[in-house]
Structure 1
């Protein structure tokens, strides 16, 4: 498959008024800070929004955003498979913020949750450490926890997916509210 077109943060910022921005992160990640005017359609719901996304693409350029660019590239490929052309934000919201551009936070408050990548690093590191400690102090079989996490990280890198992120994304602190897919779809219809 081909790599989707990528816009840099500065280019996206200058063209923001002419783009339909779709954020494919979890509702919790979206609430922690997103591009101004972005609509939240989580990656696992992207196919539910195909008719509206086709309409948005017919009216102008669609920019798909996530934290780092990996999920948005996957979303662009999924959309391309259904005949919808979209670009991705190179480096995601991380590159956007690093470029000095503001992220919109509902209520204007500070970031209240960790990015999913940071949650995955914490969880993987904690389980590896726990497996090693329990393997030394209790029974060597506990080292299989560490081996399992290592295998999962390798699989994650090879497939460019993350099972741990999918599981962590379902935890209550990552879902402060359900994604209001209907509101996002209504906004797409009205553009």
Structure 2
């Protein structure tokens, strides 16, 4: 997953274009970022672990794309490119969790009693 990604060739959707529910969402951020704040129902696989754990995505429906998110869109773009090259239907979420939060979409924290935040 070390190649340069050409954003013009990458399937991308803004947060405002995403359905409110029922999407298959993969979060490729690091564990500390996930714990601080993430989308409810998302699957968490850090970018560096994705090749070894890609089988975990089989829980998503085959007839819908996997939307990939990170903090701002860079890591998710790399993951999206790799997934598409590996036969998946993946779409990068432009602006990542930062945009998700700005759009007022739900975010939860794994820290007991802490308000969710985007690291």
TM bracket, shorter-chain basis:
0.7 to 0.9
The structure-2 alpha-carbon separation of the partners of 1:57 and 1:80, relative to structure 1 and needing over 3 Å to count, comes to farther
Inter-partner Cα distance in structure 2 for 1:52 and 1:59: 16
Inter-partner Cα distance in structure 1 for 2:59 and 2:105: 28
Residue 41 (1) aligns with residue 45 (2):
yes
Q: What is residue 54 of structure 2 aligned with on the other side?
A: 50
Q: Any idea what SS the aligned residue of 1:31 has? A: helix
Q: Deviations over 1:90-133 (max 9, x none)?
A: 10000111112231112452247x72xxxxxxxxxxxxxxxxxx
Residue 10 (1) aligns with residue 12 (2):
no
The runs of at least 4 aligned residues of structure 1 exceeding 3 Å deviation read: none
**Please, which of 20, 24, 27 is the counterpart of residue 20 of structure 1?**
24
**Please, which of 103, 110, 116 is the counterpart of residue 107 of structure 2?**
103
Shift of 1:33: 0.8
TM-score when scaled to structure 2?
0.80
Q: Any idea what SS the aligned residue of 1:74 has? A: helix
Q: Deviations over 1:29-73 (max 9, x none)?
A: 011111121111000011112334356362422111100011000
What are structure 2's unaligned runs of at least 5 residues?
none
Higher gyration radius (CA):
1
Aligned pairs for 1:61-76 (under 5 A) are 61-76=65-80
Larger strand percent: 2
TM-score when scaled to structure 1?
0.52
CA contact (8 A) 1:19 1:63 kept: yes
